[in-house]
Amino acid sequence: MERGAGRGHHRPGVAGRRPRARLLALLEEPLPTVELARRVGVTPSAVSQHLRVLYATGLVTRARDGRQVLYRRSALGDQLTTGGGAVPTPSADA
């Protein structure tokens, strides 16, 4: 088999999505990192790294609940996930 063969091919549905897209799809309800890792089947550390990027880009929000942090899709993440219209972009005049 050629090196790198099969890259870029993915199965349809949640199981075949890229990790961040899978996480974003799951975050319709607030969930902690450990639960997300269990549902996706990866380590909490891997989930944490992806959540860090999703948070930095404004696609998820986070809130502390006792000893855990709950993550949820932001309004922007909802728009992207549900196809709820164009995602607003900042204007150059602002």
The pLDDT score that the predictor gives to residue 19 is 86
What's the N-to-C CA distance of the chain in angstroms? 52
CATH code given to domain 14-80: 1.10.10.10
What pLDDT, in 10s, does the model give residues 44-89? 999 999 999 999 999 999 999 999 999 999 999 999 988 865 555 5
* Amino acid found at 69: V
Q: So where are the chain's domains?
A: 14-80
Tell me the whole-structure pTM to 2 decimals: 0.69
Closest to 72 in 3D by CA, of 42, 30, 21, 20: 30
The 3-state DSSP class for residue 45 equals helix
Exposed e or buried b for every residue in 65-76, given b needs 16+ CB within 10 A?
eeeeebbebbee
